[in-house]
Amino acid sequence: MNIPCHIRGLGVHAPERLLTNDDLSTLVDTSDEWITSRTGIRQRHILHDGETASDIGVTAARRALTEAGLEPGDVTHVLVATCTPDKLCPSTACIIAHKLGCGQVMAFDFSAACSGFMYGLSLAQSLLSAQPDACILLVCAEALTRRVNWQDRSTCVLFGDGAGAVALTANSDNAVATLQDVLCTSSSVDNLADLITIGGGTAEEYAPGQPIGEEFFLHMQGREVFKHAVRDMAAICKDILARNNLSVEQVDLFVPHQANLRIIEAVGQRLNIRPEHVFTNVESYGNTSSASVPLALGDARAQGRIRPGDHVLMTTFGAGLTWGAALLRF
């Protein structure tokens, strides 16, 4: 049976604290000119001291539930996409469920890095097929600035913190959008796992009092990732359009992963999407990993860029490597 998957509410949140390119140029050997011309990023939002990924995730989640007209007690599943969880254990999903006051829910984290939103939509679709009464809260909450090396100019200028959440049900009451299709994949043939890594897991041995080594922080082979990102996001977008018999002209808004303006432009060109149909907000947030596409969707809606009936095509790319695409009908 084909159970529909409706987005009943969408909420986003980014910390208020801002870090501009000029601020960064006082930390590392960089400049506003380099960052803007190579990435399109002008500022990023960073967590306040003591603030956590779960805190910003909770704010986004509350906004999504409010729009959906749902209470925390209505939620049956809390799924959290994050590669920067509050802790290795317990899951950030359990922490968010507790802070929201959800009661007894199935709560778990999963990591598909920057592709978390696409993977989460796919998971939600499967869960709703098995359990049509489910009410799923999908939260993408990231604290990348807690894992960048502030001495490494090749990565620390790229990332920011943020969160986005959607409430999903099979019930279409006051639905904001309907998930038309979603495709997710990863690079299982070539071993490309080393292209983007964040340490701090159990592969490294730590002892109390031992200084933290370089492996603890985010590492990325940017130029190599760039090539894969352009090629793979363009290809998966073509696949999802073809299997839904949609032409690129029928896409009202393209909302790609916000990592680098040059990547977004290159993917748009490969797809032949006119620039006015491409949404970008990378200039304001930098790369917020799994939160990037929901944050962009939220901003696009707030700016009146999405109207009822619109087809929205989204795509993501991240560590793993992982990538995905999804079609929403508003």
Catalytic residue among 5, 83, 102, 114: 114
Does the active-site annotation cover 287? yes
Query: Minimum distance between the CB of residue 98 and ligand UT7, rounded to whole angstroms?
Result: 29
> How far apart are the C-alpha atoms of 184 and 293, rounded to whole Å?
15
DSSP element (H, E) containing 161: strand 161-169
Does the active-site annotation cover 156? no
DSSP element (H, E) containing 153: helix 153-156
Please report, as ranges, the residues that interact with ligand UT7 according to CB under 6 A: 30, 34-35, 38-39, 114, 153-154, 157-158, 196, 222-223, 225-226, 229, 259-260, 263, 287, 317-318
Is 45:14 a contact under the CB 8 Å cutoff? yes
Nearer to ligand UT7, 40 or 85 (CB): 40
Q: Which residue is nearest to ligand UT7 (CB)?
A: 222
Residues 6+ positions from 152 with CB-CB distance below 8 Å? 28, 217
- Report which DSSP code applies to 178: E
Nearer to ligand UT7, 217 or 317 (CB): 317
Nearer to ligand UT7, 114 or 177 (CB): 114
Nearer to ligand UT7, 127 or 259 (CB): 259
Query: Minimum distance between the CB of residue 201 and ligand UT7, rounded to whole angstroms?
Result: 18
Query: Minimum distance between the CB of residue 1 and ligand UT7, rounded to whole angstroms?
Result: 36
- Report which DSSP code applies to 249: G
C-alpha dihedral, 20 to 292 to 39 to 319, nearest 10°: 120
Is 271:238 a contact under the CB 8 Å cutoff? yes
Catalytic residue among 184, 257, 260, 311: 257
Query: Minimum distance between the CB of residue 196 and ligand UT7, rounded to whole angstroms?
Result: 6
> How far apart are the C-alpha atoms of 142 and 224, rounded to whole Å?
23
Catalytic residue among 45, 102, 287, 311: 287
List the catalytic residues: 114, 257, 287
